[in-house]
Amino acid sequence: MDIATEAKPETIVLKGRKVVGGRAEGEALVTTETISGWGGINERTGTIIERRHEMRDVSFAGKILVFPGAKGSSGWSAYFHMTRLNGVQPQAMIFTRMTTKIALGAVVTRVPAITELDQDPLTVIETGDWVVVDADAGTVTITKKDRS
């Protein structure tokens, strides 16, 4: 590999379907586990609290949240709605499994959201990558984090 390509960070563009419009960029937080709203997050801190969740005690506030989708109680949207009112919502949502819980939750959290991507975001994107979500254009642009 020559020096020119090594110095340039790797960028990947995924195409998908807009769920909620808008554009946001930030650091990715990736989990392969679904998230519970009611009983699964602290709506005052944006922290995952579920007992056996791999991201327990991690906050998604201000992150680009990359996850399979929603699970659990019908209070999902109400709890993510509260994270917005408390200013600890994620900056954007990228997910793979469409349900009424995640659709309504993304709408009331009022952050750009995207699904049906042409590659699996849960494997392409890693925690710490810089991600630009342009939901209106249906694109997710990933700059891999510096591994040096």
Partner 1 sequence: MKLTDYEKAMFEGEHGRAKARAMDLLVRYGEALGAERLVETNNVAGAFNASTPSVQAIAQKGMEHIYSELNLDSDEVVEVPHMVAHTCQLITGIDNDNWELQGVDKSLVDMQRANEKYLGRRGVNMFATCTPYQVGNVPVKGEHCAWMESSAVIYCNSVLGARTNVEGKESTGAAALTGRIPFWGFHITENRRGTHLVELDVEVDDMMDWGLLGYYIGEVIGEDIPVINGRSHQPDLIKLKHFGAAAASSGGVEMYHIPGITPEADTVKEAFGTRKIKGTFRYGAKERRETYEKLQSSTEKKVDFIMLGCPHNSIDQMALIAHMLEDKKIHSDVQLWVHTPRAIKQVAERNGYIDVIRDAGGVVMSDTCPAISRRLPAGTKVIATDSAKQAHYLPAITGVQGWFGSVSDCVDAALTGQWNGRA
Active site residues: 73
User: What's the CA gap between 38 and 98, in Å, rounded?
Assistant: 18
Single out the residue of 106, 95, 109, 102 nearest to residue 67, CA to CA.
95
Shortest separation between residue 51's beta carbon and partner 1, angstroms: 5
For residues 129 and 135, which CB has a smaller minimum distance to partner 1 in the complex?
Answer: 135
Chain residues in the site for partner 1 (CB under 8 A): 17, 19-20, 39, 43, 50-51, 71-78, 81-82, 85, 97-101, 103-108, 110, 113
Strands (E), 68-138: 70-71, 92-95, 113-115, 130-134
First to last CA, the chain: 15
DSSP reduced 3-state for 103: helix
User: What's the CA gap between 118 and 115, in Å, rounded?
Assistant: 9
For residues 40 and 121, which CB has a smaller minimum distance to partner 1 in the complex?
Answer: 40
Shortest separation between residue 39's beta carbon and partner 1, angstroms: 5
Shortest separation between residue 100's beta carbon and partner 1, angstroms: 4
For residues 36 and 129, which CB has a smaller minimum distance to partner 1 in the complex?
Answer: 36
